[in-house]
């Protein structure tokens, strides 16, 4: 395949001026998010071109949306070539859009990979041996890891000339102590890798870095909340993760869009005795629970806020309660809180959620400025704490792709 063949995509894009760049991708089971990050002499800049390919499941109707800086998003359907899968068609369109006339020279592809297990505490260049290890971790994240690796393999086939880098959601939490990682199970389970790993690490790494530059108090005790369709909290001390709400899988901890969050294992035993299969339980916990399951309306917090259904109010109240409850647990692990940070789709945009959580944390000395909170829309980093607050409160739009791009360039420089 000639990636610069104009026939590979009908989308006309305008690139921000950049000579060379890293492509960051996040491959899911039915979608592919991507963004292009310009590479300068000593820094990876903000994303230029970005987009989303959807409908990539077998038999799906694939489409791609591409957004150039300062322009509206452009969407089009994708036509499959003979023998081509929807995912391969999307990948072809992504590369064509990125390398459109005037586009940058790509230096690497940085892949968000959910699980590095106990093998990887930092990003790594992907070769056959690394890929085999990542394959072995698929049972630990059955709904995420295989999709991530499908993206890796597709890009390796399409552009074997480009270094491929795996950037792990688990890596940031490799610094958590043993007492945080262990379950109260026989020791042999821990030796086999059944332990708490934590996720959303790329987001927490980015937000921690932003806050370290924004306030000197970030060098102390930070409680970070990544709240979106996937949701978790992370306790950070001196820039290092010491505890987090997600554990062995991305199911644990907070209630999420369609995921249950923490649940008594006895409930699962009850369902098994009632004849539920593992596949049915997995679907229940990952796809039919959380905001969607409790509300019976939607997994989208914006839809729930606009709804008059009793189930919507119940789901919002439970989501808020779970956040507050786990904030209490992690603040105890930290021994107090100096900085509270909100990120993720809900954390960045839901004014009411931030206000309710902060009000409930008033016993920690948290006070917010109502006007500042209303103005914080996720478009930029914003401080929303009141002048008399004992805890600084910030809203930070996350950029996991930029962290991945930085890691990719660091690995390339190290290999020179």
Buried b (16+ CB within 10 A) or exposed e, 30-58: bbbbbbbbbbeeeebeebbbbbbbbbbee
Q: Is 28 annotated as a binding residue?
A: no
CB 212 within 8 A of CB 282: no
Which of 208, 182, 206 lies closest to 193, judged by CA? 182
**347 annotated as ligand-binding:** yes
β-partners of residue 393 are: 340
- List alpha helices for 159-289, DSSP H: 178-181, 187-191, 201-214, 265-273, 278-287
400 is an annotated ligand-binding site residue: yes
Catalytic residue among 169, 252, 338, 356: 169
Q: Return d(Cα 126, Cα 116) in angstroms, integer.
A: 12
Q: Which helix (H) or strand (E) holds 168?
A: strand 164-168
Instruction: Tell whether residue 346 is among the known ligand binding residues.
Output: yes
Annotated binding residue at 348? yes
The answer to whether 2 is annotated as binding is no
> Would the annotation count 148 as a binding residue?
no
**Residue 398 near residue 343, CB atoms below 8 Å:** yes
* 169 among known catalytic residues: yes
Question: Residue 230, annotated ligand binder?
Answer: yes
Q: Is 349 annotated as a binding residue?
A: yes
Token pair, residue 121, equals 């505490």
301 is in an annotated binding site: yes
* 33 has binding-site annotation: yes
- CA separation, residue 16 to residues 69, 80, 97, 102, 393 (Å): 6, 29, 13, 9, 33
263 is in an annotated binding site: no
Please report, in range form, the residues annotated as the binding site for ATP: 33, 226-230, 300-302, 345-349
Looking at the annotation, which residues are catalytic? 169
Please report, in range form, the residues annotated as the binding site for substrate: 112
Please report, in range form, the residues annotated as the binding site: 26, 33, 112, 226-230, 300-302, 345-349, 400
Please report, in range form, the residues annotated as the binding site for Mg(2+): 26, 400
């Amino acid at each position: 395949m000639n990636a610069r063949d104009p026939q590979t995509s009908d989308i006309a894009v305008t690139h921000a001026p950049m000579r060379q760049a890293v492509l960051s991708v996040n491959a899911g089971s039915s979608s592919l998010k991507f963004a292009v990050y310009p590479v300068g002499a000593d820094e990876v800049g903000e994303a230029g071109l970005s987009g989303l390919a959807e409908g990539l499941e077998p038999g799906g109707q694939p489409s791609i949306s591409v957004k150039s800086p300062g322009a509206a998003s452009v969407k089009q359907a994708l036509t499959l070539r003979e023998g081509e899968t929807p995912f391969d068609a999307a990948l072809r369109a992504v590369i064509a859009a990125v390398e459109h006339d005037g586009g940058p020279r790509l230096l690497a592809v940085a892949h968000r990979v959910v699980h590095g297990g106990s093998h990887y505490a930092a990003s790594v260049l992907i070769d056959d041996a690394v890929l085999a290890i990542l394959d072995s971790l698929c049972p630990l994240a059955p709904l995420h890891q295989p999709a991530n690796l499908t993206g890796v393999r597709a890009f390796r086939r399409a552009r074997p000339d480009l270094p491929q880098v795996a950037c792990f959601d688990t890596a940031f939490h490799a610094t958590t102590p043993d007492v945080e990682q262990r379950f109260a199970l026989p020791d042999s389970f821990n030796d086999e890798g059944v332990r708490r790993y934590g996720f959303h690490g790329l987001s927490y790494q980015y937000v921690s870095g932003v806050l370290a530059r924004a306030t000197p108090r970030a060098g102390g005790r930070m409680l970070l909340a990544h709240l979106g369709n996937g949701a978790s909290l992370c306790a950070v001390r001196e820039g290092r993760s010491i505890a987090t709400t997600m554990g062995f899988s991305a199911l644990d901890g907070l209630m999420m869009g369609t995921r249950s969050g923490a649940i008594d294992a006895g409930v699962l035993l009850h369902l098994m005795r009632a004849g539920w299969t593992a596949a049915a339980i997995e679907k229940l916990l990952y796809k039919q629970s959380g905001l969607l399951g409790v509300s019976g309306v939607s997994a989208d917090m914006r839809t729930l806020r606009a709804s008059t259904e009793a189930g919507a109010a119940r789901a919002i109240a439970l989501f808020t309660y779970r956040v507050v409850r786990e904030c209490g647990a992690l603040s105890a692990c930290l021994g107090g809180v100096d900085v509270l940070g909100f990120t993720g789709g809900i954390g960045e945009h839901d004014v009411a959620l931030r206000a309710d959580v902060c009000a409930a944390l008033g016993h920690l000395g948290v006070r917010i400025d109502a006007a500042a909170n209303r103005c914080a829309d996720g478009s930029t980093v914003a401080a929303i704490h009141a002048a008399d607050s004992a805890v600084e409160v910030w809203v930070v739009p996350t950029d996991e792709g930029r962290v991945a791009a930085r890691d990719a360039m660091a690995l390339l420089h190290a290999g020179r």
